[in-house]
Amino acid sequence: MKYVMIIPDGGTDEPCQALGGQTPLQAANIPYMDEVARTGLLGRARNVPDQFIPASDVATLSLFGYDPVRYYTGRAPLEVVAMGIPLGPLDWAVRCNLVNITDGRMTDFTAGHVTSPEAAIFIDAIQRELIGKFPGIEFHPGVSYRNIMIVREQEGASPRLGETTHTTPPHDIPDQPVADYLPKGQGGDWLRALMTAGAEVVKNHPANLEREAHGHKPANAIWLWGQGKAPKVPSFQELHGLRGAIISAVDLVRGTGQLAGWERIDVPTATGYLDTDYAAKGRAGIEALKSHDLVCVHVEAPDEASHEGRAEAKVEALERIDSEIVGPMLEALRRQGDFRLLVSPDHSTLVRTKAHDRAPVAWAITGTGLAPSGGSYNEISANEVKGPFLDKGWQLMERYFLAPRS
């Protein structure tokens, strides 16, 4: 049996005025996803428990079959796994976004989708300028606006961060006054001082002047959030006896897969944005099936379109995932024998709010041993067919995806 998971990040939504009252999944021409739903199980799942902020960190753990209540320690620690940064037992990882704040508002949490080479320049400058003022910190460049700060704590010293430290994801506060969402609790003052110092480093940096000269938004501030310590989870092979592979352009999802013991397969032309190379991801997934029992292909594009409030762009991203990833992988699976293919977003992301939402996601599984649901792949159909609803989304993996059916 071969298993494939395809994650259209943030794919589920609500009816959009710009789409004539349809959701992006309803408006999209997605014949292969519809086929998955029609020929197999169609259901809904809640991947984010009430005590967590709806985001890809918690939701991806759920999709991979890990109870976030038991295993989640924070977003940034999952990313550092992919980046190969070691964390000691006392250390903290903190996400460091390069952002654009204008007139006190979170104008763009991606700083105009700053490029990775530009981001590396900014992060290097921040490291050089702040290391003397804030001992025990390290800044590491990631992908585009997604970067990392490490806090190295010393044995016996008073910890700078703790369980009461509260931070807010910048993508959850588009166009909002940032003063209402600055870090609070233990270490809040210290994090705010770091953010102020970081903004002074980047806002007048020559690389920003170059961006502005070319009509791009400057990366004029940093935003610290998603803190946590190193997580420990049992390997996927230990739990299920299957060898997995993860294909993603996003460190968070890569890291979660690697934490589960899956092999990371990078696609050089994948960007983590709307311009990603969908077809190359599909080809990489098909190739990975030759040597792995389970292959997971994650695509960030629908989530990014929602964050920008672009309904038509989200529809296009879903259509390209369908035609260039779901379709080819479904055909490849059918040629090789028994299989299961799962399509499921991690969480919902709404075009209207430009933010994540804790609404249940629609999922569909087709393959060996599954009876047809007859529905189409979208939120409305998933509700109407009254298929399985999982209040604990992490149970989807073992109960419906991996379990044999007669």
Looking at the fold, whether 296 and 330 belong to one and the same domain comes out as: yes
362-394 pLDDT tens trace: 999 999 999 898 899 999 999 998 899 999 999
Looking at the fold, whether 266 and 366 belong to one and the same domain comes out as: yes
Model pTM score: 0.89
| Contact residues for 311 (Cβ-Cβ < 8 A; gap 6+) | 16, 18, 19, 24, 27, 305, 351
Looking at the fold, whether 244 and 218 belong to one and the same domain comes out as: no
Looking at the fold, whether 389 and 269 belong to one and the same domain comes out as: yes
Question: What number of CA atoms fall less than 13 Å from residue 92's CA on the CB side?
Answer: 22
258-301 pLDDT tens trace: 999 999 999 999 999 999 999 999 999 999 999 999 999 999 99
CA 261 → CA 11, 67, 237, 239, distances in Å?
Answer: 26, 16, 7, 11
Residue 405 has pLDDT above 90, yes or no: no
The H or E element containing residue 224 is strand 221-228
Take residue 186 and report the two structure tokens written for it: 């233990």
- Comparing CA positions, the residue from 347, 334, 244 lying closest to residue 297 is 244
**For a pLDDT cut of 90, what percent of the chain falls above it?**
96
Q: Which residues of 105-141 are buried (b: 16+ CB within 10 A; e: fewer)?
A: ebbbbbbbbbbeebbbbbbebbbebbeeebeebebbb
Looking at the fold, whether 142 and 157 belong to one and the same domain comes out as: yes
Cα 210 to its chain centre, rounded Å, is: 30
Diameter over CA atoms, the chain = 64
Looking at the fold, whether 222 and 252 belong to one and the same domain comes out as: no
119-142 pLDDT tens trace: 999 999 999 999 999 999 999 999
User: What CATH number is given to the structural domain containing 298?
Assistant: 3.40.720.10
**Interatomic CA distance for residues 360 and 391, integer angstroms:** 9
Number of domains, the chain: 2
Question: Of 228, 263, 281, which one is at a domain's C-terminal end?
Answer: 228
What is the pLDDT at residue 392? 97
Looking at the fold, whether 200 and 217 belong to one and the same domain comes out as: yes
* DSSP-based three-state secondary structure for 149: strand
Query: For residue 68, what are the domain limits?
Result: 2-72+233-401
Instruction: Decide if 86 is inside a domain.
Output: no
Q: Are 46 and 358 in contact (CB under 8 A)?
A: yes
pLDDT interval class at 22 (50, 70, 90): very high
Residue 183 has pLDDT above 80, yes or no: yes
Question: Of 212, 228, 244, which one is at a domain's C-terminal end?
Answer: 228
What is the pLDDT at residue 386? 87
Looking at the fold, whether 23 and 128 belong to one and the same domain comes out as: no
Question: Of 201, 228, 255, which one is at a domain's C-terminal end?
Answer: 228
Looking at the fold, whether 289 and 396 belong to one and the same domain comes out as: yes
Looking at the fold, whether 280 and 303 belong to one and the same domain comes out as: yes
